Amino acid sequence: MSSPHADRMEVEHAAKRLIRQAVQPSGAFQGLEEPAVPLPHSVKADMAFRPHGCKEDLWLAVQVKSAATLKISGTSSYCEFQRVGHYREMLIICVVLHGDGSKAGGCLEGGLKSSWSSPRAWAFEGPSLGHLKTNLRIISGGKYDTPESRCTFTNTSVAPGSRPLADVLLSAYLNARSSSENTSSGIHLRPLDYLRNQVGASIQTEMETRRWLTQVLFDPAGMVMEDAPCSSLPYDTVARPLCGEASASPFLKVQLKTAYWRRQSKWGPMARVNSFRKCGHRGSLPYVRGDFDVFLVGPPRNKSRLLALQTKGDNRESPFQGSEMHFPSLFYMFLSSDMEELGFLTSGEKNGKCGFDLDFIEDRRHRSGSRTAELLPWRHDLTERSLQKALERLNSKFPGKFTSVK
């Protein structure tokens, strides 16, 4: 049985394949091309296009939202797409792969049919959805299911009331390119380097944490960090030995997290780390056994929150009292088996945790038997002894590959 992550990944990949097929040269249409090296998973845009053969470094950024099937509510069918209000400068393509004729037969008014099995798509200019704080729900014949938004994946036998997706993409590109500032209707054409570096604040924080942990742990250990094959997977990166062929060498699935200052305790500011994955309409669920090999937590970076905690309440016992804010040179590393034993992972009938507190203040006093004190054995500093201990734990997954932190 496939996992929800694998299912989501396949839906996303299938939607992108349909888009790629739709923009291939056909008849008078000369086609659109993507960058030779795909955009990283972490950036805002999922895809980027320009006319085939164009040499100008200007690209149309596209955000792809996908769903496997229609949903049924009474006698109506609808599609639902998450987080569409965050892409004001780009084109948003929403793709549903299959209808569900088993639940509601016949055709509905507008562009949706409850009994079709072929994929459908809708295209929206990012600014038109910028007001949405919740999911986009496309209902048959509703506000968002219009002749202007409906698209087909073919240039031939186009259904009435829809447009070929290839024409929509090319038109968006040409309209923006014809303006003096390479923008039209809020859609911007951007250089490729701009798109490769366009990340949100949370992603930027994770990238900084990854660079720091790579520098202090993985580089000295002779390991290389790479992006996970797909952003839908329950781990962010893979770590593998630097030596040998990448395709043949073993790798660790690493879920990378950044802790954040959250609350004030009797002994000073306390940090927390999230340990959940987002699962669509089911909301946030704890990680499950097998999602990753290593759960790696970098130190907090939200210094403004730390400052607020320093000035709030009674801080007489806080080690931070009167001191400058700083970046704690500490990290936590849990193997998957550790997370399961500690009760943080869902396993069998036992539910995991969506987050837990961690201590990033050295030599802090703790209440006897506190949970944060129990987790201190998994905390590491940058001393050679502590890093060697972390390496030995990684070595339990790669027997004989590493002997010391250089």
Percent of the chain with pLDDT over 70: 83
Structure tokens at 388: 């060697």
Q: What is the pLDDT of residue 282?
A: 61
Compute the chain's Rg from CA coordinates.
Answer: 25
Residue 168 has pLDDT above 70, yes or no: yes
Helix, coil or strand: residue 403: coil
Pairing of strands 32-33, 47-51: antiparallel
Structure tokens at 352: 């995991």
pTM of this prediction? 0.68
Sequence-distant (6+) residues with CB within 8 A of 38 are: none
Percent of the chain with pLDDT over 90: 46
Beta strands in 232-350 (DSSP E): 237-241, 252-258, 260-265, 268-274, 276-278, 284-286, 294-298, 331-335
Average pLDDT over residues 142-159: 84
Pairing of strands 284-286, 47-51: unpaired
Q: How confident is the model at residue 114 (pLDDT cuts 50, 70, 90)?
A: very low
DSSP 8-state assignment for residue 377: G
Residue 119 has pLDDT above 80, yes or no: yes
- Half-sphere exposure of residue 402: CA atoms within 13 angstroms, side-chain side: 27
pLDDT one-digit tens code per residue, 81-106: 988 988 989 999 999 998 654 433 33
Of the listed ranges 143-147, 281-285, 376-380, the least confidently predicted one is 281-285
Helix, coil or strand: residue 274: strand
Q: What is the pLDDT of residue 162?
A: 86
pLDDT one-digit tens code per residue, 247-302: 556 789 999 999 999 988 777 888 999 999 877 556 688 999 999 999 999 999 98
Residue 238 has pLDDT above 80, yes or no: yes
